[in-house]
Amino acid sequence: MNSISVSELLKMNNCNIIDIRSVEKFNSNHIPGAKNIQMESLLISPNMYLKKDEKYYIYCQKGISSLKICNILKNQGYDVYSINGGYEAWILQK
């Protein structure tokens, strides 16, 4: 499974970051530049949101759900990486 640490993510510019948390949590605070795509929507219709020739970095609150989603999407041919520790790790790193 491909994953990335927050410190590695911080070194990157202009990457596709997807927050799969609830709209309320996203609106409360999120990683700058992230798009909010609900977990269920991403699983039901990934082709509406993702392109197979681009990389995506996906996170949830703690990194558990994003890891599961990345495994599913990876098996469907998407280039996805789970952000280790999720949003909570981001808060601790910034």
Selection from 80, 75, 93, 92 nearest residue 4 by Cα: 80
Among residues 71, 82, 86, the alpha carbon closest in space to that of 3 is found at 82
Q: Is 15 a catalytic residue?
A: no
CB neighbour class for 74 (10 Å; exposed up to 12, middle 13-18, buried from 19): middle
Tally of CB atoms within 10 A around 88: 14
Catalytic annotation, pick one of 60, 73, 83, 89: 60
Catalytic residues: 60
